């Protein structure tokens, strides 16, 4: 499975591609950051994020896009920018018919480090180790994007089995 992880942000949107399957060694196919100038107009910044993500989709052809689920923060302008960049990533994937998976920050940290409260340095260190890299990807947004992709690869099989079990045990015509 090839997954594009997206750590959404308006100034720095982390992107990383990881390939592999749960239980086997994973391979990083690419990592980077889509940057936009903080002083640019919002519309221009969103277009720049879209162009950057489209380039990553064209180049790496992922089967799934894993995006960090936006969570409440104290700074409303920060959470708005994060949500807007997240929506752009989801739109780019949806346009191409690529499934999107959302993962919370604590879910990603727990998957990669074993603790949902791990700090950025711990996440970067584990991403470096898991992908056998010479150094942690910089900036942290890039490492976080790889962590999202790793989380999805490891958690997707269990999530798929759970969804299938729910579908089997839900009477026809009813939804949960």
pLDDT tens for the chain, residues 1 to 176 = 999 999 999 999 999 999 999 989 999 999 999 999 999 999 999 999 999 999 999 999 999 999 999 876 677 778 888 999 999 999 999 999 999 999 999 999 999 999 999 999 999 999 999 999 999 999 999 999 999 999 999 987 666 565 666 667 777 665 55
Q: Which of 7, 39, 58, 107 is catalytic?
A: 7
Whole-number Å distance between alpha carbons of 162 and 124 = 30
What 3-state class would DSSP assign to 24? coil
Going from N- to C-terminal start, the domains of the chain cover 2-168
Q: Is 107 annotated as a binding residue?
A: no
Catalytic residue among 39, 44, 107, 141: 141
- The question of whether 7 is a catalytic residue gets the answer yes
- The pTM score is 0.90
Q: Can you list the alpha helix ranges (DSSP code H) found in the chain? A: 42-60, 76-95, 105-113, 120-130, 140-168
Q: Is 7 annotated as a binding residue?
A: yes
CATH code assigned to 2-168: 3.30.420.10
68 included as an active-site residue: yes
68 annotated as belonging to a binding site for a ligand? yes
Report d(CA 110, CA 101) in Å as an integer. Answer: 17
Of the residues 63, 68, 107, 119, which is catalytic? 68
CA 99 to CA 4: how far, in whole Å?
11
Angstrom distance (rounded) from CA 61 to CA 83: 24
């Amino acid at each position: 499975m090839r997954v594009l992880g997206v750590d959404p942000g308006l100034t720095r949107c982390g992107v990383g591609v990881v390939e592999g399957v749960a239980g086997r060694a994973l391979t990083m196919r690419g990592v980077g950051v889509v940057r936009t100038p903080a002083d640019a107009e919002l519309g221009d910044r969103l277009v720049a994020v879209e162009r950057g993500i489209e380039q990553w989709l064209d180049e790496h052809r992922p089967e799934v896009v894993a995006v960090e689920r936006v969570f409440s923060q104290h700074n409303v302008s920060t959470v708005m920018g994060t949500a807007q960049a997240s929506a752009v990533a989801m739109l780019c994937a949806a346009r191409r018919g690529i499934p999107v998976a959302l993962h919370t920050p604590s879910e990603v940290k727990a998957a990669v480090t074993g603790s949902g409260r791990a700090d950025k340095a711990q996440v970067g260190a584990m991403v470096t180790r898991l992908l056998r890299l010479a150094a942690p990807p910089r900036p942290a947004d890039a490492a976080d994007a790889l962590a999202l992709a790793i989380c999805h690869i490891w958690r997707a099989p269990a999530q798929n089995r759970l969804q299938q079990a729910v579908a089997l045990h839900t009477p026809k015509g009813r939804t949960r």
